[in-house]
Structure 1
């Protein structure tokens, strides 16, 4: 069902917001789109919404209207003042900007509650794709990797070459471990590999961790590629701090504008059909330089992707408007009433 205009509901949590958060520029741009009737936004950080976000009561939600002057403030004024109570099922298009920690249980409940609505990204797709384990679908474009569910599996894999061990649901470089023989580097200090792994045996056995070959060219940077509707919107190269192997800006790295290579364009073409099938419209794909000097896929991020206004400023090319266009095109094919 195609609608002339969509009523949009945005779900977020403003406690982690800053002036750099993409949500403000994206929603101001969306508000001006001819397919947008109105935008309301609800934050998980507002106590009045605990019944929705915590108790999973879908009857009502406290929202604020997004206006042309919608912008970040330290106090979160635009999200916590002038609120009114609405039924979330009255909206046509749901835009999720909810970072972790958001539970898979909540996301699956949300998918059921809002069945028939256009949701970007779809909650079921987020549950499926926002784990490092999802990378195992694409071994052709990734470094050598293995899902490890015991200390023995980690040690066997690490006996072949140095590896990075990744928690399945962490993000922003949190929890990454580099193992090189008997030495384990947690990004801050060095440990004995076996001693450290014994301390996380419960995590390995209950959740598992993804082991990935450590690439010696990591100092050439981790490239974040922003994708919407299968189209590459922009890219940035995140370089590690001196004497560090962690490229994430949150872990001390720096970011500069970049251009996707032909290898990276091929990677996006390879992974996009499966992401699209899962209801993922907007995502970030991260690549590293392998030991042969070729870019390979190291991460896929499908939850609350940022960097859009920064990419537009850095490149001087439109990024926000094409992204919003893709959202409404997606809504036309996914809204069922």
Structure 2
């Protein structure tokens, strides 16, 4: 198969832990041809979606790629296109999914562009009120303050960023709460903000549950470091080995019908103290850590599924 990966620039990869690189390497090992392009290199012209793409060979060590050729190719010339660029999930990201929907149906685009639009990673959890922490979404300062007063502390989150970026902890009883919340809203522009009860259990970890084809197949725990309550690796968190438990499987089973409905093959669920906090469908990560801890070989299982879909 000829496979293209839409992603952030290949030189920006964190070679030691990049999931996209692992997916590319496994596909290459199976004899498939590997191309990549950035979202900015995808365009519609003359009734056809095209991309300025580069054919590469990859490896899981530095130097991690070798470039072979660059060409403008019709997106329909690829058998599979993986959507793997990181958020922010802004209008640039959304607009790109509309272009990818114009790719001929013979090309398998994963995860499905419409599904990515329909499952914004933080807001989509609102479909599962019994699984998530107490949550506020909006921009009304008085309503936000009233919500926050119900708890010892809350976390404020931008709705469409990732990796723990912009997430802060606040207490309504503190005299500067309204000022901090106002500044937070200003930085969010016109977007709503998310507030959730702070879960002290985050000290024991933020679990990433991997879901492939609707089935929970493994998990990695991320632990916050130092005084930072955020466990995201981008924020300095540390990945450690863990196992799936009954609650993880319950959450995955509850979310699976939504993933199936939206044709999401591969997703990552974030779970803190038994509560669902995110459904990651853009570019789920941490599969390299899972493999290092002796867990499932997700790239292998992923391409087994994709090859079966292409038959």
| TM-score band, normalised by shorter chain | 0.7 to 0.9
**Equivalent residues of 1:309, 1:320 under 8 A apart:** no
User: What CA RMSD, in Å, does the superposition of the two structures yield over aligned residues?
Assistant: 2.5
**Equivalent residues of 1:240, 1:254 under 8 A apart:** yes
Give 1:298's aligned residue: 277
**Equivalent residues of 1:22, 1:309 under 8 A apart:** yes
Correspondence 1:29 to 2:23: no
Cα distance in 2 for partners of 1:319, 1:202 equals 40
Cα distance in 2 for partners of 1:244, 1:202 equals 23
The residue matched to 1:268 in structure 2 has which SS?
helix
Give 2:261's aligned residue: 277
Structure 1: tracts of 5 or more residues without a match: 1-5, 184-190, 290-294, 333-337
Correspondence 1:147 to 2:140: no
> Which of the numbers 257, 270, 279 marks the counterpart of 1:286?
270
1:177-208 residue CA offsets vs partner (Å, 9 max, x unmatched)? 2221244xxxxxxx821112222444667211
Correspondence 1:199 to 2:178: no
Give 1:95's aligned residue: 82
* Bigger Cα displacement from structure 2, 240-249 vs 7-16: 7-16
> Which of the numbers 154, 165, 190 marks the counterpart of 1:163?
154
The residue matched to 1:237 in structure 2 has which SS?
strand
1:58-104 residue CA offsets vs partner (Å, 9 max, x unmatched)? 5543333344x545656x7535x422332111223211211124521
TM-score for both structures, normalised by structure 2:
0.87
* Alignment CA distance shift 1:238-1:71 (3 Å): closer
Give 2:289's aligned residue: 310
* Alignment CA distance shift 1:132-1:318 (3 Å): closer
1:246-286 residue CA offsets vs partner (Å, 9 max, x unmatched)? 11121122110110110110100000110221121111111
* Alignment CA distance shift 1:89-1:260 (3 Å): same
* Alignment CA distance shift 1:147-1:97 (3 Å): same
Give 1:253's aligned residue: 237
Correspondence 1:244 to 2:223: no
> Which of the numbers 13, 17, 25 marks the counterpart of 2:13?
17
Cα distance in 2 for partners of 1:42, 1:179 equals 41
Correspondence 1:176 to 2:154: no
* Alignment CA distance shift 1:131-1:223 (3 Å): closer
**Aligned positions, number:** 303
**Equivalent residues of 2:5, 2:81 under 8 A apart:** yes
Higher-RCO chain (CA-CA 8 Å, sequence separation at least 6): 1
**Equivalent residues of 1:10, 1:41 under 8 A apart:** yes
Cα distance in 1 for partners of 2:295, 2:121 equals 33
Give 1:209's aligned residue: 193
Correspondence 1:109 to 2:75: no
Q: CA deviation at 1:116?
A: 5.0
Structure 2: tracts of 5 or more residues without a match: none
* Alignment CA distance shift 1:200-1:166 (3 Å): closer
Give 1:232's aligned residue: 216
Matches within 5 A, 1:107-146: 107-115=97-105, 117-146=107-136
1:93-132 residue CA offsets vs partner (Å, 9 max, x unmatched)? 2112111245211112221234453211111111221341
Correspondence 1:86 to 2:82: no
* Alignment CA distance shift 1:323-1:202 (3 Å): same
* Alignment CA distance shift 1:128-1:316 (3 Å): closer
* Alignment CA distance shift 1:156-1:307 (3 Å): same
